[in-house]
Amino acid sequence: MDLINLLQQDTTAFLTFTGIFSLMIGSFLNAAIYRIPKMMHNEWHQECRELLQDEDSNQQESAESKKEEKFNLMTPRSVCPSCGHMITALENIPVLSYLFLGGKCSSCKTGISLQYPLIEIFTALLSIFVAWKFGFSWQTLAALVLAWTLITLSIIDAKTLLLPDNLTLPLMWIGIAVNYQHLFVDLQSSVLGAMIGYLSLWTIFQLFKLATGKEGMGFGDFKILAALGAWGGWQILPFTIFVASLFGAIFGILWMAIKRDKNANMIPFGPWLASAGFIAFLWRDEVMQMMNGYLFP
């Protein structure tokens, strides 16, 4: 019996394989969470340098930039930020390496953030649940891509207040593509979900800015809600916006109380949109029934 048949016929084997594979994905997500914002900043700095340089010095800058080491998701190898020790393959085994090293760099003994094993474990647990819910199917594969991307976006936003276009926009288009054959919802609901998702928050943003002269959220929030609408259809958007706003407001109040600063208004909204949207995506029928009960009792 080959691997595909085993995974298809044995639920325990399928869930176990998904969990182990997702631990490795979680390790990659940690790298993406660290590297993507740095890649964005490097790109912005390069664009600024090009704008500030005249034509001659621009050519010199271009020649110098070629000498700079490439920095992307794969290059260079991961190193300890404190001492520069290059992380070996054995030191990069999800969760186990962290436990074996005692949460410290093997070279300088600087503490390693608990974020790394936590994201790996959370990614595995969420992936196992998705696999259990959808079974051995194309729906599971697609939903895992959605889950992994939302995890990445949520942590990046929480740490940097950025929601990269190179994640949000492809996620939206992939959502429309997978629903071309009604994988989760019909194509019309998917396209409307993307349109309404973006325009709803964009409208709120414009009204808030008109009333207060301030920007209440970032454009990335519009795009992540558009992506969620593309995956789950426009029907999940009311629940997503309501729940995300509710828990975002509660978190914001608690955060200001802890910080004791009423001006601490830079609160990431992306993680709450991602969490509420993924819940609505997983339990779409139940969410729609609940919303219909409230809207049309």
CB neighbourhood size of 197 (10 A): 31
Q: Number of structural domains, the chain?
A: 2
Pick 64 or 284 by higher pLDDT: 284
* Residues 19, 152 within the same domain: no
* Residues 3, 15 within the same domain: yes
pLDDT tier, 260 (very low <50, low <70, confident <90, very high otherwise)? low
Q: Burial of 21 by CB count in 10 Å (0-12 exposed, 13-18 middle, 19+ buried)?
A: middle
Using the 3D structure, point to which of 68, 103, 135 is the last residue of a domain. Answer: 135
Average pLDDT in the chain: 87
* Virtual torsion, Cα 238, 241, 247, 252, nearest 10 deg: -150
Average pLDDT over residues 265-273: 86
* Residues 280, 197 within the same domain: yes
Percent of the chain predicted with pLDDT > 90 = 54
pLDDT at 261: 58
What is the per-residue pLDDT across 8-67, written as a single tens digit (0 to 9) for each?
A: 888 999 999 999 999 999 999 999 999 999 988 888 888 887 788 755 555 555 544 544
* Residues 59, 99 within the same domain: yes
* Residues 295, 165 within the same domain: yes
pLDDT at 60: 52
Pick 278 or 254 by higher pLDDT: 278
Do residues 194 and 172 touch, judged by C-beta distance below 8 A? yes
pLDDT at 142: 97
How far apart (Å, rounded) are the C-alpha atoms in residues 297 and 101?
57
Pick 203 or 56 by higher pLDDT: 203
How far apart (Å, rounded) are the C-alpha atoms in residues 170 and 172?
5
* Residues 27, 107 within the same domain: yes
* Residues 211, 278 within the same domain: yes
Average pLDDT over residues 158-164: 92
Using the 3D structure, point to which of 75, 100, 135 is the last residue of a domain. Answer: 135
pLDDT at 295: 59
* Residues 159, 96 within the same domain: no
Structure tokens at 170: 């492809």
pLDDT at 66: 47
pLDDT at 214: 80
What is the per-residue pLDDT across 98-150, written as a single tens digit (0 to 9) for each?
A: 888 888 888 888 888 899 999 999 999 999 999 999 999 999 999 999 999 99
For residue 111, the SS3 value is strand
* Residues 221, 146 within the same domain: yes
* Residues 172, 276 within the same domain: yes
* Residues 142, 282 within the same domain: yes
What is the per-residue pLDDT across 68-83, written as a single tens digit (0 to 9) for each?
A: 567 777 777 788 778 8
pTM for this predicted structure = 0.89
Containing domain of residue 192, as a range?
Answer: 137-297
pLDDT at 70: 78
* Residues 89, 153 within the same domain: no
